[in-house]
Structure 1
Amino acid sequence: MCAQQGIAETNLRQIAREANVSNGTLHYYFPSKDKLIETMIIRAVERMGQPAAEIASRASEPFAQIAEIIDLSFGLFDDDWELYSVALLLGDRIRVRLAQEFPTATGALKTIIEGGQRQGVIRDGDAVLLAIQCHGIIMRVARARAFGEVSPPLRQFADMVAESCRLILVTQP
């Protein structure tokens, strides 16, 4: 509802009506619209952050793992765009306040990059900065959909984004 009407234009009473729950019940669990949206965004990023961490923990080829995280991310965005579009718009603001509760793919990408650096297939450099660059590409493509710059599904861009990340990370001859 927030994605369709706009966040500012939506109130808890409308959300309760749309969800077929009483206004009182919704207020019991979520005392404000901000708390409800914050909870939704944290749950959305958990659906990305936890599987991404599992991908990073496996012994595998680093570029294949990165491609898998890109597929995971774009798949989640495509499958529940209304939720993730709100997360894209407000997630950064919430992440600043709730950094400990806010898992992202950046940590998983960092783990993969460090492994690739040890294997000699990913260039030396600050693994966090390299992970941020790759995650930035993923998120910018998702934001491009929110801005109307690209058409869905985002999955169609997964190979191109994976190649962009590979070019950033590959060791130089």
Structure 2
Amino acid sequence: MAYRAAMAAKNGSEGQGTRDKLIDAAFRAVARDGLADTNVKSIAAEAGVNPGLLHYHFASKDALLEAAIESASARYMAEIDALIATTPRARLFDAYVAFAAATLDANRDLFRVRLALGARAMNDARLAARLEIGNAAVRERLATVFAAGAGRSVPDDRDRLRARATKAAFEGMMLSWLTNPDFPMRAVLGEWAEGMRAVLHKPG
């Protein structure tokens, strides 16, 4: 819902509006139907446009899917940037944990689409490289959060290593949550937060 609202709020020319409709539709179609069952016709139908317009705005269906995940990821990272910019450093780690818990449901489709494309990227080096750009940006923000939690203003190599471990752990947690409705996602997130607090506050 948050993603759709962000797309609807965009202003621009009629051509830009059609492009945004296709991005929004592709994102929703993959989140609902999966990659295998999402095609040009289903995306166009979801967007309410002629299928030919997809090829006018994008070189291929894959290019559209990449634009969809990049757009949604940029929105998500903008929310984290706002959190970092407006939260006192001493409270940033706790604020991030609260943010992550509060936005789980709102970002469920984002996690689903990212994991679907991540699975495809195992056999697609070009897609893997595109996704890594977004992954690196998320990790750097996590490193900033971890540095603040440890009382430092600038992330160091240890913060970045923790960010790598956390990003990988989160993807496993999200996969478990998306495939098993009984997975205690919030409880697991809470346990991760407690463990990370102990690590960040450990002397040395």
Taking structure 2 as the reference length, what is the TM-score of the superposition?
0.65
Does the aligned pair in 1 maintain the 2:142–2:163 contact within 8 Å? yes
1:24 and 2:55 are equivalent in the alignment: no
Give the partner amino acid of 2:166.
C
Contact 1:145 1:151 in 2 (8 A): yes
Q: How does 1:111-130 map to 2 (within 5 A)?
A: 111-119=144-152, 126-130=158-162
Match of 1:140, as an amino acid? G
Summarize the Cα distance change of 1:4–1:96 in structure 2 as closer, same or farther, 3 Å threshold. Answer: same
Match for residue 95 of structure 2?
68
Distance of aligned partners of 1:60 and 1:101 in 2 relative to their CA distance in 1, 3 Å threshold: closer
Structure 2 unaligned runs (5+)? 1-28, 122-126
1:59 matched residue in structure 2: 88
Q: Please name the residue that 1:145 is paired with.
A: 177
| Structure 1, gaps ≥5 residues long | none
Identity of aligned residues (%): 26
Give the alignment partner of residue 112 of structure 2, picking from 85, 96, 118. Answer: 85
The alignment covers a number of residue pairs equal to: 167
Q: CA 1:39/1:75 → structure 2, altered by over 3 Å: closer, same or farther?
A: farther
Match of 1:110 among 122, 143, 152: 143
Matched, 1:171 2:198: no
TM-score by length of 1: 0.74
CA RMSD of aligned residues (A): 3.2
